[in-house]
Chains A and B, each alone.
Chain A
């Protein structure tokens, strides 16, 4: 059964529209990540689900019950705030028990739930401390604990890891995944961080410009971006986009010509493409390899070399001055200023039409 259903959510602050017709259906126990640039309305959408923000239009349903007019505390959701929002004058134990006490959960039940959560989160020794006496990471756990004890149907996490340092972030990410597998609830996490979204989420919701741009499992978002925004936003370094011309022939797949004359045989079915209009090609760095002249599709002049250890990123310019990002092995001998051959893997290329819609290679037979 669907857990959360959003239909046609609209929201504006004064004259600025922030969300414009957002719809989404979540499966039971699903983990969804909202990914998008700053100001794209991720927090706003999360807060609408939590009831901390009113909506101008649309419906929110949780487990079939309409909740958009229900007060926040009665919705069956729990939220973990970006800045924790712990009660500074209560001990950790009281912080976690507060919500339960307010709804009259029996005392021994409260104690049992708090003890359980504290054990899972390894904060048992801190139960009698005040938040001010704890580190950021510990406070984050308390905030998560405060959500867990409520046994909500849906967890809402607003950038839960963004205040932690890199090492703690990794650890908490793994712990979140473990907690997730233990509790019977759905999760929504807002994040800026693709790696977080890719590793934790069952599906990613990419948001931009007041709308959901694409919803799908992480690998689908990565390998079949719905439009140029998703293509460039997901993946690091960003996908190279360059205008191309369709080479007229009667092959099954589209054959395109780059600005410098090089031709690429894609695996995008020619029949799917719109007739006429301009086209752009999308190439991930890993599908553009530095190659010996014989095997090269085209030539480019190297502008910047980034050695990452296991691989090397080569930022170069084609002869028509278009930027292109390529990949080479870890011990690359490419230097800035060199002209190198690039072998473009046409089977991994994406095409985008004048409306920026994406077309991809036919799904590979498994």
Chain B
């Protein structure tokens, strides 16, 4: 009997083996070897030398790195709430079965398909203070154009706006899917209960979207903490390092200064930060939401 049970266990494992192998090779192995690398001093020629926590100690003393952490947090705080609210508003506005709504859903989703290069190119045309769309408009009405790409704070906003425009499609679709799950008769009951649109939104729609909301915020936080392409292409981290993000810092350390161990240590810190933040979000929001399934 025991032998039979054992055999069954093993045959089960066999089915997941292909996936498991790929998972080990392309995810777990790099993760572990990255960790190992972060404790070494490595340059391109010659092997690594074990230096313990030296890389980490240097990172915390490195002003450029600390600045990039703060920039990244600032960007995530600017992007995630705004992006969530905009995606939710779009979903609410476009959650209807008309042809027009279908067209607009497609339009708003289409930006997600573009590569980051094209997105930054488009926004360069819009934001450039001298020849861009906003600059021209400002000049036409006689106002001073906003220095979107050369002022430290404004250039952070330039990154945020570009990112929001680029990534609004997926969260909008997630919210739309969530909205479709809400049965229509609950809204009819609310109408008979004389709930205003505002009350209906807060008491019926939003609670039903809670899980989607948590998902969107977690996905976006994890994604925006890794913001890179826009920063590199739109502002190059400038002016004066005001838009250098963590991944940009990692990229520069690794592929401009060839300090692989140092860069990997920064990457490990980013990894830990993302895990910690999203986990905290998950735990705090998912608690106290039991018994809400079914109607």
Interface residues, chain A, with chain B CB atoms under 8 Å away: 50-52, 71-74, 77-79, 81, 83-90, 98-99, 102-103, 129-133, 139, 146
A-B contact pairs, 20 of them (CB 8 A): A51-B191, A52-B188, A72-B188, A84-B295, A85-B185, A85-B186, A86-B295, A88-B186, A89-B203, A89-B210, A90-B203, A98-B193, A98-B203, A99-B194, A102-B195, A102-B196, A132-B291, A132-B292, A132-B295, A133-B291
How far apart sit A129 and B194, CA to CA, in the bound complex (Å)? 23
Q: What distance in Å separates the Cβ of B270 from its nearest Cβ neighbour in chain A?
A: 36
Residues in A with CB closer than 8 Å to B195 are: 73, 98-99, 102
Residues in B with CB closer than 8 Å to A72 are: 188, 191-192
Assess whether A99 is in contact with B295, with CB atoms less than 8 Å apart: no
Assess whether A87 is in contact with B188, with CB atoms less than 8 Å apart: no
How far apart sit A139 and B295, CA to CA, in the bound complex (Å)? 8
Known: A52-B188, A73-B192, A99-B194. A85 touches B295 (CB 8 A): yes
Chain B minimum-CB-distance residue to A71? B191
Chain A minimum-CB-distance residue to B196? A102
Assess whether B185 is in contact with A99, with CB atoms less than 8 Å apart: no
Assess whether B189 is in contact with A85, with CB atoms less than 8 Å apart: yes
Assess whether B185 is in contact with A89, with CB atoms less than 8 Å apart: no
B199 contacts chain A at the CB level, 8 A cutoff: yes
Interface residues, chain B, with chain A CB atoms under 8 Å away: 183, 185-186, 188-196, 199, 203-204, 207-208, 210, 291-295
Assess whether A99 is in contact with B203, with CB atoms less than 8 Å apart: no
Residues in B with CB closer than 8 Å to A87 are: 186, 189-190, 203-204
Assess whether A79 is in contact with B189, with CB atoms less than 8 Å apart: yes
Residues in B with CB closer than 8 Å to A51 are: 191-192
Report which of A73, A85, A146 forms a contact with B194, defined as CB distance below 8 A.
A73
Chain B minimum-CB-distance residue to A147? B192
Assess whether B191 is in contact with A73, with CB atoms less than 8 Å apart: yes
Known: A83-B183, A98-B203. A88 touches B292 (CB 8 A): yes
Chain B minimum-CB-distance residue to A52? B188
Residues in A with CB closer than 8 Å to B188 are: 50, 52, 72, 79, 81, 85
Residues in B with CB closer than 8 Å to A74 are: 194
Chain B minimum-CB-distance residue to A99? B193
Known: A85-B186, A99-B193, A103-B194. A130 touches B203 (CB 8 A): no
How far apart sit A72 and B194, CA to CA, in the bound complex (Å)? 8
Assess whether A89 is in contact with B194, with CB atoms less than 8 Å apart: no
Task: Work out how many contacts link A and B, with CB atoms closer than 8 A.
Answer: 86
Assess whether A85 is in contact with B183, with CB atoms less than 8 Å apart: yes
Chain A minimum-CB-distance residue to B294? A132
How far apart sit A146 and B189, CA to CA, in the bound complex (Å)? 10
Q: What distance in Å separates the Cβ of A155 from its nearest Cβ neighbour in chain B?
A: 11
Known: A85-B185, A89-B207. A50 touches B292 (CB 8 A): no
How far apart sit A139 and B210, CA to CA, in the bound complex (Å)? 23
Chain B minimum-CB-distance residue to A158? B185
Assess whether A52 is in contact with B191, with CB atoms less than 8 Å apart: yes
Given contacts A81-B185, A87-B190, A99-B194, 18 further A-B contacts (CB under 8 A): A50-B188, A50-B192, A51-B191, A73-B193, A79-B188, A81-B188, A81-B189, A85-B185, A88-B207, A88-B292, A88-B295, A89-B203, A89-B207, A89-B208, A98-B193, A98-B203, A131-B294, A132-B295
Q: What distance in Å separates the Cβ of B200 from its nearest Cβ neighbour in chain A?
A: 10
Q: What distance in Å separates the Cβ of A59 from its nearest Cβ neighbour in chain B?
A: 20
Chain B minimum-CB-distance residue to A98? B193
Residues in A with CB closer than 8 Å to B291 are: 129-130, 132-133
- Max count, chain B CB within 10 A of own CB: residue among A83, A85, A90: A85
How far apart sit A258 and B92, CA to CA, in the bound complex (Å)? 67
Residues in B with CB closer than 8 Å to A83 are: 183, 185, 295
Residues in B with CB closer than 8 Å to A71 are: 191, 194
Assess whether A132 is in contact with B189, with CB atoms less than 8 Å apart: no
Q: What distance in Å separates the Cβ of B151 from its nearest Cβ neighbour in chain A?
A: 45
How far apart sit A233 and B59, CA to CA, in the bound complex (Å)? 84
What 5 A-B pairs come out closest when comparing CB atoms? A73-B194, A99-B193, A132-B294, A89-B207, A85-B185
Assess whether A102 is in contact with B191, with CB atoms less than 8 Å apart: no
How far apart sit A77 and B193, CA to CA, in the bound complex (Å)? 10
Residues in B with CB closer than 8 Å to A103 are: 194
- Max count, chain B CB within 10 A of own CB: residue among A50, A71, A86, A89: A89
Residues in A with CB closer than 8 Å to B189 are: 79, 81, 85-87, 146
Residues in A with CB closer than 8 Å to B210 are: 89
How far apart sit A74 and B192, CA to CA, in the bound complex (Å)? 8
Residues in B with CB closer than 8 Å to A133 are: 291
How far apart sit A84 and B191, CA to CA, in the bound complex (Å)? 14
Residues in B with CB closer than 8 Å to A89 are: 203-204, 207-208, 210, 292
Residues in B with CB closer than 8 Å to A88 are: 186, 207-208, 292-295
Q: What distance in Å separates the Cβ of A196 from its nearest Cβ neighbour in chain B?
A: 21
Residues in B with CB closer than 8 Å to A90 are: 203
Chain B minimum-CB-distance residue to A81? B185
Residues in A with CB closer than 8 Å to B193 are: 73, 98-99, 102, 146
Q: What distance in Å separates the Cβ of A50 from its nearest Cβ neighbour in chain B?
A: 7
Chain A minimum-CB-distance residue to B289? A89
- Max count, chain B CB within 10 A of own CB: residue among A50, A78, A102, A129: A102
How far apart sit A87 and B182, CA to CA, in the bound complex (Å)? 10
Residues in B with CB closer than 8 Å to A79 are: 188-189, 192
Residues in A with CB closer than 8 Å to B203 are: 87, 89-90, 98
Chain A minimum-CB-distance residue to B204? A87
How far apart sit A131 and B199, CA to CA, in the bound complex (Å)? 20
Q: What distance in Å separates the Cβ of B192 from its nearest Cβ neighbour in chain A?
A: 5
